[in-house]
Structure 1
Amino acid sequence: MKTHQSRKCLLKALKLAPLTLAVALSGCAVGPDYTEPTIALSSAYLHGTNEQQAKTDYWWTSFNDASLNQMVEDVQRQNIPLQVAAERIKMANSYQSIVSSFKVPTVSLGAGYFNYQLSKNDSLLGSALNPIGASMPTGTPLDSVTLLDNQHDGVFAGASIGWEMDLFGRIDRQSNAAKIRVEQAEIYRSGLNTLITADLVHNYLQYRGAQERMALVEVNLADQTKTLDLVKKLVKSGYGSELDLAQAQTMLAATESVIPQLEIAQQVHKQRLATLLGEPLTQVDIRLANRSSLPSLEGVIPVGLPSDLLKRRPDIRMAEREMAALNEEVAASIANRYPKFFLTGTPGASASSFDDLFDSDSFGWAAAVGVSWNVFDGGRGEALVELNEARFDAAVLGYEHSVNSAITEVDSMLFAYGRSQQNEQRIQKALTASENALSKAQSLYKAGLINHLALLDAQRQQRLMEDRLVAARLQTAQVTVGVFKALGGDWQVSDTETNNS
């Protein structure tokens, strides 16, 4: 319908005078108008809870870890990929400025000096350059008279003006598409900031967890070394068995085997932190030297409504903006099939000497209005429209897929978060039971009712539960980071807070 209306406007305009052409065609823009998509979503997540509120800004501060907060601020300022993403925003802005510049006239100024000589043997002008009396008897008064001088020089100054009248909105649509690409570059940086911040928080928590587990292993190792020494003495004195000795040696070797794994984990996560921060390992060691325990998140995770994902998730926002950009490109390809109208002008001054350059008689100008219409291109223009329409349809499907994937990811992470909390609670109960058992074993040992080996075994069980609790907390922390990453949101620390830190 809109294309048919544009053609009627064009036929009407071609019958009008050139001075009224722009006015007549001002309402003939072609191409589809963009409407933001609407998707029906459920009112709550499958594994969400009612008390959770929709706020995810600065969620990592709920760990109450000053070192972590400082590292997040620093990584957002220092990370190299984030700096590259910022440069991409600048490039997109520059490209948008380039495209938009075609909407206004282009003006070029020029000035200079010229000198040229015409050929006297030229077939067209040669007779005017030779003396008129050359073909007459010698001595006539016209022997030195010519109609034209063969050498000329002078100065000039002027301007060249060109403007395409964007009557069908082709340039305007291209400019809109370029502006949307700027928005996409900003969304990309926001999404990258989310991923990098989540990666830093994850590696920090994993390092602290491995560090706390290492401290427990060292205590266990000391206790099991004492146990082994005691068993050796008992075996030597005839009060112990070889089985007791073998069991003590096995437990000690098993505990020692955990140390290299924890050392590898600490080194890997520390190296990743150094890469994210763009700092040497020595600087990261300084950052990590002031704490050795795994922080815990306080409060519940603020989930919010599924519809919030449409605004918070960078991948969904990127997919929606891709639809908007391709819609503008479809419209631009449609407008490209219509005539293009041009206005050109070249005002200037030219004179044989600089003194006369700005004299009123030295000024001159030329102006023209033209039209260009590609009436036959072998179907290339129509194919370009169909290509962009197919790209738009693919973007629509991509948007729907992004929304569905986001909902599934959040539900999956919430399920994992709930189960990890249950696991942590059960291990906490087991730890409490092992602590009670250790307390009773200590009382029985003081009363002489059990031997030292039984007491050490109760200590080993209690330390084992402590290690399992740290591992469970570490799993919960890992899932927590995944939940917040799935929920999305703007995690950019403001410049004011960064400067005040």
Structure 2
Amino acid sequence: MRYRIAWIAGTALSLSACAAGPDYRPPQAAALGVPATFSAGVATPVSDADLASWWTRLNDPTLSALIDRAVADNLDILAAQARLRQARESLAQTNAAFLPQVSGSASGGKNYRSQAGGTRVDGNGNVISTGASNWSSSYSGSASASWQIDLFGELARSSEAARADLAASGYDLANVRMTLIAELVTNYVQARLGQEQLRIARTSQQVQQDNYNIANWRLQAGLVSSLDENQARAQLAQTSASIPQIEANLKASLNRIAVLTGQAPGEATRALETPAPIPVAPVQIATGIPADTLRQRPDVRSTERALAAATARIGVAQAQLYPSLGISGNIGTTSNAFKDLFSLITGGVFANVAQTIFDGGRLASQVRAQRAATDGAFAAYKKSVLTALEDVENAMASLSSARERKAQFTIAYDASNSAAIIARSQYQAGLVDFQTLSTTETTLLNARNSLAAARSDEVLAIAQLYNALGGGWQSMDNRPDEQRR
């Protein structure tokens, strides 16, 4: 009997190597429409080290500390980590199907039996029953085992799909981290821009207050009409009106930073209310080649793993068309005395073969449905690749635009600042009217704000570019590529 069982098991294991369904092969870059180079710029190699902590190139310790806090406490990251743990347990549950399932039971107790009989009277006239009653013991134990032989790879393909799902969950966690860092940098830069805009507005407000005082004095002296005084007051009021909106935008950025770092708005960002300059953008940015996006972008790798899982599930559905083989066995014993419980043991081993003969085409339809799902997964994967390339191209265009605007606004600021100084002195000397002074002051205010916005746009474009390149997750714990195999 044992030789027969060994032969059945050996045959089953050799057949299980023949897994149903297609073997997955990652699509090549050509099939995904990936070009050789980006349309703008020269392809420069980019390493994981360059991408892992790209924000440190902004040389802002406060920002780096915020990112460390966010990575540790952000609630979206904690939720993604929980989903990753859940996927890991799903893989463990799937792999458990490869092993025999064993269960056992035992029982013991006493039985009471009473038998009715006649009666008699003793010498004292007492009635005595002649019936019989007794107690008996009963003990039993049993165990059973079953094992589903993976003849055509249904379990192997299920495990393959679960491993791909686990890797996809890991990349989803990486994508949450990558997106979080980019969003935090964006809000931090916007907060510093708001502080710079407040400084500019309040400086302009002070200058315009002085202009209003001069215009009012000249009106009182009869040197000018009330037109100058009204124009000065209107200009001052417009600048003063812009300050509350800037403050509100600044507060919104600070509140968002607090939530991103897993804290309640308010006290958590009190230290950030102290004004600090906008981070300085690095000059050189490595972009690599488009094919790098298949490796660097965690959202792209997640959709690739989803395609692998969908392909494996074709094999799961296809294996259900073929016969299934199961081996089961049981062993048991029973006795009226515990010491004799193992005196007599009974058991058996059985093999079971099952094959669906007619199901109205249900199983075949499941195979076709899973093939359709795989086609959809491939389309989603290709779309994610093309979207990643689009993000990189857009980010490079935004960075180029911001740098060109910063250069031009620097020229505009220098020229308008000189013009405002000249106009202010000439107005005080009565050589020009207030309209000329107002125009130059407005031009200077716009140039200051535009230059500050261009500087922040340059940093934001760099954040957008690094996010598009897939930076920010390469140094995280439990990297998904360690789970891929």
Shared topology, TM-score over 0.5? yes
- Structure-2 residue corresponding to 1:45: 38
- Structure-2 residue corresponding to 1:107: 102
- Structure-1 residue corresponding to 2:3: none
For structure 1, the 5+ residue unaligned runs are: 1-16, 121-143, 145-149, 496-501
- Structure-2 residue corresponding to 1:5: none
Is the 2:420–2:441 contact (alpha carbons within 8 Å) kept by the matching residues of 1? yes
Residues 1:428 and 1:53: Cα distance change in structure 2 (over 3 Å): farther
For structure 2, the 5+ residue unaligned runs are: 1-6, 116-130, 478-485
- Aligned mate of 1:332, from 316, 336, 346: 316
Helix, strand or coil at the partner of 1:25: helix
Residues 1:398 and 1:372: Cα distance change in structure 2 (over 3 Å): same
- Aligned mate of 2:448, from 456, 466, 475: 466
Is the 2:328–2:351 contact (alpha carbons within 8 Å) kept by the matching residues of 1? yes
- Aligned mate of 1:32, from 22, 25, 47: 22
- Aligned pairs (5 A) from 1:201-220: 201-220=185-204
Residues 1:302 and 1:387: Cα distance change in structure 2 (over 3 Å): same
Helix, strand or coil at the partner of 1:309: helix
**Could you tell me how far 1:260 is from its partner in structure 2?**
1.8
- Structure-1 residue corresponding to 2:153: 169
**Could you tell me how far 1:321 is from its partner in structure 2?**
0.8
Residues 1:163 and 1:245: Cα distance change in structure 2 (over 3 Å): same
**Could you tell me how far 1:391 is from its partner in structure 2?**
0.5
- Aligned pairs (5 A) from 1:14-413: 18=8, 21-22=11-12, 25-40=15-30, 41-50=34-43, 53-54=46-47, 55-113=50-108, 153-358=137-342, 361-413=343-395
Helix, strand or coil at the partner of 1:304: coil
For 1:18 and 1:230, how far apart are their aligned partners in 2? 105
Helix, strand or coil at the partner of 2:266: helix
Is the 1:163–1:342 contact (alpha carbons within 8 Å) kept by the matching residues of 2? yes
Question: Letter of the aligned partner of 2:362 in structure 1?
Answer: R
Question: Letter of the aligned partner of 1:402 in structure 2?
Answer: S
Question: Letter of the aligned partner of 2:396 in structure 1?
Answer: L
For 1:74 and 1:492, how far apart are their aligned partners in 2? 17
**Could you tell me how far 1:332 is from its partner in structure 2?**
0.8
Helix, strand or coil at the partner of 2:51: coil
Is the 1:312–1:490 contact (alpha carbons within 8 Å) kept by the matching residues of 2? no
Residues 1:93 and 1:415: Cα distance change in structure 2 (over 3 Å): same
Is the 2:45–2:289 contact (alpha carbons within 8 Å) kept by the matching residues of 1? no
**Could you tell me how far 1:72 is from its partner in structure 2?**
0.5
Question: Letter of the aligned partner of 1:169 in structure 2?
Answer: G
Helix, strand or coil at the partner of 1:155: strand
* CA distances 1:323-345 after superposition (whole Å, capped 9, x unpaired): 10011100011111111111111
For 1:412 and 1:337, how far apart are their aligned partners in 2? 49
* CA distances 1:101-139 after superposition (whole Å, capped 9, x unpaired): 011101113222156799x9xxxxxxxxxxxxxxxxxxx
**Could you tell me how far 1:490 is from its partner in structure 2?**
4.1
**Could you tell me how far 1:466 is from its partner in structure 2?**
2.1
- Structure-2 residue corresponding to 1:423: 405
* CA distances 1:5-57 after superposition (whole Å, capped 9, x unpaired): xxxxxxxxxxxx84764266344332111111002232321122355745322
- Aligned mate of 2:468, from 470, 482, 486: 486
Question: Letter of the aligned partner of 1:58 in structure 2?
Answer: S
For 1:19 and 1:58, how far apart are their aligned partners in 2? 53
Question: Letter of the aligned partner of 1:60 in structure 2?
Answer: W
Is the 1:220–1:460 contact (alpha carbons within 8 Å) kept by the matching residues of 2? no
* CA distances 1:380-410 after superposition (whole Å, capped 9, x unpaired): 0000000000001111122222222221221
* CA distances 1:80-100 after superposition (whole Å, capped 9, x unpaired): 111011010111111111111
Is the 1:193–1:491 contact (alpha carbons within 8 Å) kept by the matching residues of 2? yes
- Structure-1 residue corresponding to 2:126: none
For 1:293 and 1:46, how far apart are their aligned partners in 2? 33
How many residues align? The count is 449
* CA distances 1:168-226 after superposition (whole Å, capped 9, x unpaired): 11011111111111111111111111111111111111011011110111111111111
Which stretch has the larger CA shift, 386-395 or 396-405? 396-405
Helix, strand or coil at the partner of 1:47: coil
Which stretch has the larger CA shift, 34-43 or 448-457? 448-457
**Could you tell me how far 1:450 is from its partner in structure 2?**
5.3
Helix, strand or coil at the partner of 2:108: strand
Is the 2:255–2:266 contact (alpha carbons within 8 Å) kept by the matching residues of 1? no
Residues 1:49 and 1:290: Cα distance change in structure 2 (over 3 Å): farther
For 2:202 and 2:45, how far apart are their aligned partners in 1? 39
Which stretch has the larger CA shift, 406-415 or 371-380? 406-415
Residues 1:432 and 1:254: Cα distance change in structure 2 (over 3 Å): same
For 2:9 and 2:420, how far apart are their aligned partners in 1? 99
- Structure-2 residue corresponding to 1:13: none
Is the 1:73–1:493 contact (alpha carbons within 8 Å) kept by the matching residues of 2? no
Question: Letter of the aligned partner of 2:21 in structure 1?
Answer: G
For 1:32 and 1:432, how far apart are their aligned partners in 2? 67
For 1:242 and 1:164, how far apart are their aligned partners in 2? 98
For 1:20 and 1:219, how far apart are their aligned partners in 2? 86
For 1:255 and 1:183, how far apart are their aligned partners in 2? 54
TM-score w.r.t. length of structure 2? 0.85
**Could you tell me how far 1:452 is from its partner in structure 2?**
11
Residues 1:117 and 1:312: Cα distance change in structure 2 (over 3 Å): farther
TM-score w.r.t. length of structure 1? 0.82
Helix, strand or coil at the partner of 2:102: strand
**Could you tell me how far 1:272 is from its partner in structure 2?**
1.2
Q: Identity over the aligned pairs, expressed in percent?
A: 28
Residues 1:494 and 1:369: Cα distance change in structure 2 (over 3 Å): closer
For 1:88 and 1:432, how far apart are their aligned partners in 2? 54
Instruction: Provide the aligned C-alpha RMSD in A.
Output: 2.9
For 1:49 and 1:277, how far apart are their aligned partners in 2? 36
